[in-house]
Each structure stands twice: as C-alpha cells, then as structure tokens.
Amino acid sequence: MKIELRHDIAYRVIDGTIYILTPDSRLHSISDPVGAGIFLEIERKKGVSEKGLLKALKKSFETPESMEGDVRSFLCSLSEKGIIVLRKGGKDESL
C-alpha cells in the first residue's frame, strides 16, 4: 500500500503547525510534532509505504516500538478527512 497526499488539498506550515484546506472547504490542523512529521514525510516521499513511514519516524523521533497502531489510527483519520489517499496497485483503498 502506498500513501499519498490528495492532489487537491492546500497546506501551509506556520510556527510548526500544519494547516490543511480540503476540497470541501474544511480547515484541518496538525500541531503534534509526530503527526506533523508523518504528514511531511508523506509529502516528501510521494507514495511512501506504511513500513517506510514507520522507519522514517523511528529515525526522527524517540518513539516506542508499539506505535504502529497509533500511526495506523492517524492515517485512518487523515484518510477519512480527505487529506491522504491510500493506493494499492493503482487503485484507492482504505485501512
């Protein structure tokens, strides 16, 4: 599974908080450093896998080994809000 930001969102980072505008005109924010790190890693590595994302987080943050469930939950939240797209074999899917 590959994780990508939706092509039709707009975002800006202001004082460490990421503000995201989705096509439904909703404004979302990510102020948690780990959440912001996840978002920016997805933006930086378009089509990153969940495994690659976890590996990058472990390098950047002091995170527990058991964080996989929390990351998956956060990704589900981003997907439900229309911020990311999950792709498998060129097709969209959900977690």
The mean pLDDT of the chain is 87
* Domains in the chain with CATH codes: 2-93 (3.90.930.60)
Q: What is the value of pTM for the model shown?
A: 0.84
**Number of residues that this document lists for the chain:** 95
| 23 phi, psi to nearest 5 deg | -55, -20
CA dihedral 70, 5, 16, 68 (to 10 degrees): 10
Q: Where does the pLDDT of residue 30 fall: very low under 50, low under 70, confident under 90, or very high at 90 and above?
A: very high
